[in-house]
Amino acid sequence: MAYGRCPMPSPPPEFPKPMTRLRTLLVGLDAAGWEFINPLLERGELPALQNLMANGRWGTLASTMPALTPAAWSSIITGKNPGKHGIFDMTRRRPGRYDFAPVSAAARQGTPFWQRLNEAGIRVGLVNIPFTYPPDEVDGFVVCGFGAPGSVPNLAYPPAAMTWINKRSPDFEPAVLAELLRSGDHERIFAVETAHQSRFVEIALGLAERTPVDVLAINLMLLDHANHKMPDMARIERAIRRLDDDLAQLIDGFVPDVVLAISDHGSRRVKGDFLLHAWLRDEGCLVQAKRPSTEQAEALNWILHQWLAEARGLTGVIEKLSRRFWRGVVPRLPADLADKFWARVEAAIPFARDEVMFGDKLDVAQTRIYPGAAYSGLIYVNRQGREPRGIVPETEEAALLAQIRDKLLKLTDPDDGAPLFSQVYLGADIHDGRLAEWGPGLVIDFYDSAWNIQTSLRRGTQVEQARGRYFVANTKDFGHHGRDGIFAFAGPMFGRGTLAEPGTLMDVPATLLHLYDVPIPEDWDGRSLTELMTPGFLADHPPQTQPGDSETAVLTEDDYSAAETDQIFDHLRALGYVD
Ligand SMILES: [Zn+2]
C-alpha cells in the first residue's frame, strides 16, 4: 500500500506475515514543529502530511538537548544519547585543544542503524542525512549533504552513485554555498535552497530506482535554513508548503509501504541575541587575552570608524578627520572623561571598549568556563587534568556549575522581565556514556526564549541595536530551533491518532529496526514505539534485542584537512553557528 496525496482506503488491521521487502521511507522534515505547521494544516495546505496523519499516528518527538542538527541526527543514526555518540554541538572538542573541529561521521561513535539493517539483509539508501561524510560503505547507497565539505570527490557511495550524480548534476554541491547565505539576498537564497532540496529528492528517487533499497532515508532542510535566514513568516510558510510538496513527491516516487516522517527539532522566531560570552566575562569566568598596544590602536581605529561612519553617518574626509582626532585624544583622556566617552560609543556599539582592550582569544590560564559554538547554549569547564591548561579542580567543578546555573536562571528578558531560560541542565544529568566526560558542564534550554544564545566574541562589537547590557537585536538570523520535533508514521502496522506522551528521537531507529524484525541493540537509549502499533502486529512481531557495541568509544583526533575544515566552518559561519 502506498501513501500518496489522494484519499486512500484504510490499511488492513493485521499485517501479513512474513514481512518481506517492506518499503520504508524515512523522511526528515528538518526543523518542523507543530507551532509552525498547525496553521497550514488548518487551512488544508499540507495535503501529504495531512494524509499521513489521517491514516497513521502522529505526535511530538523530544529532540536532544541541545536541539541541534548534528547532536539530534547522531542520536537518530545511533539510537544513543550524545554522551555515547560524542556529538554535542555544531562543532566538537579535540583532546588537548581549546579550538573546535567540524563534526564528521568519523567522529561519531556507535554503530549506525543502517549497519544493523544491512546485517539483516535490508538495503538502505541515505540522502542528505546530516554529517554522514565520509560516506559508509553501505549495502545500498549514501549521498552526503549537510556538514560535508564541498571540495571532496567522494560525496557518495558507491562511487558509481557519484558518477551518476555528476552526470546529471555537474554542479552538485552538498550544501548551498556560504557566499549566498551571507549575501542577504532573501529571494535568491530561498530559490537556491528550494532547488537544492528538489535536487536531493530527484537524486534519492533516481538512485533508489537504479539501486533498489528497502529503506530510503532523506533529510529535507529548506525549512531549517529558511527559518534561520528569512525575515518574514510568509517565506517560512512557503518553505513548509514546499516541504509538503517534496514529501508528496517522495511518496509518489518511492511508493513506500511505511512512511516515517520526523523532524530532528522544531523552529521558533527570535528577537536577537543574548551575549553569553560577554555575560561570562562580566561574571569573571571567562578571560580574554589582552591585545598588545599596537593592536589596541588598530582596534580603536576600527571601532571609531564603525561609530563615526555607521552610527553617526559621517563620510569621506569629515569621517577621516574626526577619526584622527579621536584616535589621538581617546588614549589620553582622564578616567572620568574616558568613561563618558565610552558610554556614548557603547550606546551604539555595546562592547566597544572591551573590543579595544581584548583580542578574540581566550586567556586559558585564567578562564574557568567557556562557551561552545554559537546558538548551542553549551558551557564547558576548563577542568584541571582534562583540558591542557585546565584550572578548575574537579572537586570544585560542581559548586562552580551550580553557581553559574543559578545566575543564568535569574536572568530575565529585557522587554518583559520574564525568565530568560526555562531550564539549565547539568551535562552530567542529561548525557550518559563514556563520552559524556567530554561533553558540556551546563546545557542551557533557551528554546522557549525569544533570544538566541550568541557566543562569538565579536558579536556586540559593531553598531548594534543594544537592548540592555547583554542583548542585541538581530540583524541576520531571524529564527532558531524549537525544542521538540514532530512525527507522523503511516503503515499497516500502525494504529491511528495522536500519541499523548512524546517519544524521543532515539526511538525512531529502534522503531525502524522493529518493523524489520531486527533486534534492537541493548545499549540503545531509544525503544520501539510499540504503543503506536496494532496488537496484531505486536503479537506476530515481538521486539527483540541484540548485544550493543563493545565499549570502545574514544574522543578522536581531527579527521579533516585544514582546507576542508575551513570550508565547513565557512558554511557554518554563514549559518551563524561559528565565529
Ligand atoms: Zn535540524
Give the pLDDT confidence of 378-418 residue by residue, as tens digits.
Answer: 999 999 998 889 999 999 999 999 999 999 999 999 999 99
Mean pLDDT of 305-315: 92
Q: Tell which wins on pLDDT, 9 or 477.
A: 477
Task: Please provide residue 58's backbone torsions phi and psi, each rounded to the nearest 5 degrees.
Answer: -150, 160
> For residues 433 and 553, is the Cβ–Cβ distance under 8 A?
yes
**Distance between Cα 88 and ligand 1 center (Å):** 13
**pLDDT over threshold 80, residue 10:** no
What type of residue sits at position 482? G
**Distance between Cα 519 and ligand 1 center (Å):** 28
**Distance between Cα 29 and ligand 1 center (Å):** 8
User: How many CB atoms sit inside 10 A of residue 392's CB?
Assistant: 22
**Distance between Cα 153 and ligand 1 center (Å):** 25
How sure is the predictor about 184, in pLDDT bands with cuts at 50, 70 and 90? confident
How sure is the predictor about 207, in pLDDT bands with cuts at 50, 70 and 90? very high
**Distance between Cα 259 and ligand 1 center (Å):** 19
Q: Tell which wins on pLDDT, 550 or 429.
A: 429
> For residues 375 and 265, is the Cβ–Cβ distance under 8 A?
no
**CA separation for the pair 452, 127 (Å, rounded):** 30
**Distance between Cα 240 and ligand 1 center (Å):** 14
Q: What would you report as the CA-atom Rg of the chain, rounded to the nearest whole angstrom? A: 25
**CA separation for the pair 453, 112 (Å, rounded):** 31
**pLDDT over threshold 90, residue 12:** no
Q: Tell which wins on pLDDT, 172 or 12.
A: 172
**Distance between Cα 12 and ligand 1 center (Å):** 34
**Distance between Cα 272 and ligand 1 center (Å):** 20
Angle of helix 316-329 relative to helix 293-305, nearest 10 degrees, comes to 140
Q: Which pLDDT score, from 0 to 100, does residue 579 have?
A: 60
Q: Which pLDDT score, from 0 to 100, does residue 551 have?
A: 63
> For residues 400 and 283, is the Cβ–Cβ distance under 8 A?
no
**CA separation for the pair 395, 142 (Å, rounded):** 46
Tell me the per-residue pLDDT of 49-103, one tens digit each, with 9 for 90 and over: 999 999 999 999 999 999 999 999 999 999 999 999 999 988 887 777 787 878 8
**Distance between Cα 375 and ligand 1 center (Å):** 13
**CA separation for the pair 377, 405 (Å, rounded):** 12
Residue 406: exposed, middle, or buried by beta-carbon count in 10 A (0-12, 13-18, 19+)?
exposed
**Distance between Cα 545 and ligand 1 center (Å):** 29
Whether the predicted model's global pTM rises above the 0.85 cut: yes
Q: Which pLDDT score, from 0 to 100, does residue 567 have?
A: 72
**Distance between Cα 395 and ligand 1 center (Å):** 36
Q: Tell which wins on pLDDT, 462 or 444.
A: 444
Q: Which pLDDT score, from 0 to 100, does residue 552 have?
A: 59
**pLDDT over threshold 70, residue 2:** no
Spatial strand order in the sheet of 471-473: 451-454, 272-275, 471-473
Q: Which pLDDT score, from 0 to 100, does residue 15 have?
A: 40
Q: Which pLDDT score, from 0 to 100, does residue 525 have?
A: 97
Q: Which pLDDT score, from 0 to 100, does residue 3 have?
A: 46
**Distance between Cα 523 and ligand 1 center (Å):** 24
Total count of residues recorded for the chain? 579
Q: Which of 254-258, 379-383, 459-463, 476-480 has the lowest mean pLDDT?
A: 459-463
| DSSP notation for 285-312 | S--EEEPPHHHHHHHHHHHHHIIIIIIT
**pLDDT over threshold 50, residue 7:** no
**pLDDT over threshold 50, residue 198:** yes
Mean pLDDT of 308-315: 92
**pLDDT over threshold 50, residue 14:** no
**Distance between Cα 572 and ligand 1 center (Å):** 13
**Distance between Cα 460 and ligand 1 center (Å):** 27
- Report which listed range, 201-205, 273-277, 357-361, is most confident: 201-205
Q: Which pLDDT score, from 0 to 100, does residue 149 have?
A: 84
Q: Tell which wins on pLDDT, 258 or 173.
A: 258
**Distance between Cα 532 and ligand 1 center (Å):** 24
What mean pLDDT, rounded, does the chain reach? Answer: 90
Residues forming beta bridges with residue 92, ordered by sequence position: 101
How sure is the predictor about 499, in pLDDT bands with cuts at 50, 70 and 90? confident
